[in-house]
Amino acid sequence: MTVSHPIATSSPLPLRACTECDLVSEVPRLSPGEAAHCPRCHHVLAQRHNKPATHVVAYALSALIALGLALPFTFISFEARGVKRAMGLSEAANTLLQQHYEALSFLIWWGIIILPAIYLSVSIYLHLGPLWNYTPVARRGFGRLLKRMEPWMMADVFLIGVLVSMVKILALAEIGFGVSFWAYAAFVILMLKTTRVMDHDWLWTFIGGPDRPLRHARAGRTGRQQNMTGCPVCYTLNELDSDQRGHCRRCSGALRLRKYRSLQTTLALLVTSIILYIPAMTLPIMTVTTLGDSSPQTVIAGVMHLWGSGDWPIALIIFVASVVIPIAKILALGWLSWKVWRPYPSRPLLRHRLYSMTELIGRWSMIDVFVVALLVALVRLGSVMSIYPGLGVIAFAGVVILTMLAAICFDPRLLWDNPRDQQDSVNEFVAPTGTS
């Protein structure tokens, strides 16, 4: 259920500065299942869940158990021309390490096992506090860490990559899924459920106390107009000093009125991404060796092979994830950065939606990297058939990571900072005097 609440010029209700458009709004008291959205950009300001501590601990603990079961058993088995091969979950990263692709090996270990395990463990540790009536040590640091880890967990992307890689070699061999695969699939589902039921606002009320209102804060105006900003971690509205800096009064995180050199950093990352995109598309991402005959494959060649084999749905997925999305992200973020420099940008809501979409879909380009890692680890049958990684996969992984960082560094509030558009947007949502 979504709660829409009019904005008044002052109110005893808690106030919150939207971290996406900077508008200060009232946050009404919410019941479980309800959410309060910013009336200007529709970003979720607060959302309530039923029994968040109990549900988070239950789902996170179950996910950790499933992850533990996924490590020691067979993940996928492979049989071609009488030769059998089986691999465990961690073997994809270990094989890349043996091939001297240390960065990719670390990326896989970190994204699909280590980081999700840390996230789930921290979630359990923090949410056991209210259940067992104790105060977690270093709770603010762990709370900040929990929020910042979310964009980099890629277990669900890896699972889709597994299915795509199986389709790629299904015509060449017989594939079997072991206990580890099903345990990992359960882990992904439980981890996603953990993130869905987590109530960060409720958690920060336990960690840092209630969100105390600021005396001079007014709804219907932007944080910039009041030299205030909303904390991106715990959402608390904070006053800044004369240098437009400060620390959050609830989570102690460092704050600025706007992200430091947001446009410069975003553009630098985008330019680097464009440079890396050229070798990512032209160099082979893997080499397939069959009976001594080597066949290098680029991203486009792999898509064309799948299309020609009749697997056009998988070809379409790879094409969108590996070609369309990286180009679209670079163009979208570049265009948004250019529009911020215009004196009077129009339609900031439309541009904000474009940014939100760009930020959401960016990590799915990692599918091709995971596909290569899985095929390299699984298809190792000597002279009969083997797959080796290519330099293109390193460049492609760099493009994905840099575009994700560019989206994180871009400050969407800059799209709303134009004085004329900002004032028009604010006036549109300010309730008339006496309206409740």
Q: Each residue of 384-426: pLDDT tens digit?
A: 567 778 888 899 999 999 999 999 999 999 988 865 544 444 4
Buried b (16+ CB within 10 A) or exposed e, 14-23: bbbbbbbbbb
| Residue (of 29, 24, 22) closest to 8 by Cα position | 24
* C-alpha–C-alpha distance, residues 255 and 350, integer Å: 27
- Tens-place pLDDT, residues 118-177: 999 999 999 998 889 888 888 899 999 988 898 888 999 999 888 887 877 776 667 888
Q: What is the pLDDT of residues 239-265, one digit of tens each?
A: 998 888 999 998 888 999 999 899 999
CATH placement of domain 260-417: 1.20.140
Q: What is the pTM of this model?
A: 0.84
Percent of the chain scored above 90 by pLDDT? 30
Q: Do 406 and 430 meet the contact criterion of CB atoms below 8 Å apart?
A: no
> Could you give the count of Cα atoms lying within 13 Å of 24 in the half-sphere of its Cβ?
28
For residue 130, CA distances in Å to 124, 203, 250, 257 come to 11, 9, 18, 33
Whether the Cβ atoms of residue 76 and residue 371 lie closer than 8 Å to each other:
no
Would you state the pLDDT for residue 171? 64
Distances (CA, A) of 71 to 5, 93, 95, 96, 376: 48, 13, 15, 17, 19
Which of 265, 372, 261, 278 lies closest to 326 in space, CA to CA? Answer: 278
Domain boundaries, the chain: 2-48+210-249, 51-208, 260-417
**265-314: per-residue pLDDT in tens?**
999 999 999 999 999 989 988 877 766 667 777 888 878 877 776 667 77
For residue 207, pLDDT beyond 70? yes
Residues in the chain: 436
The enclosing H or E element of 157 equals helix 155-169
157 and 325 in contact (C-beta within 8 Å)? no
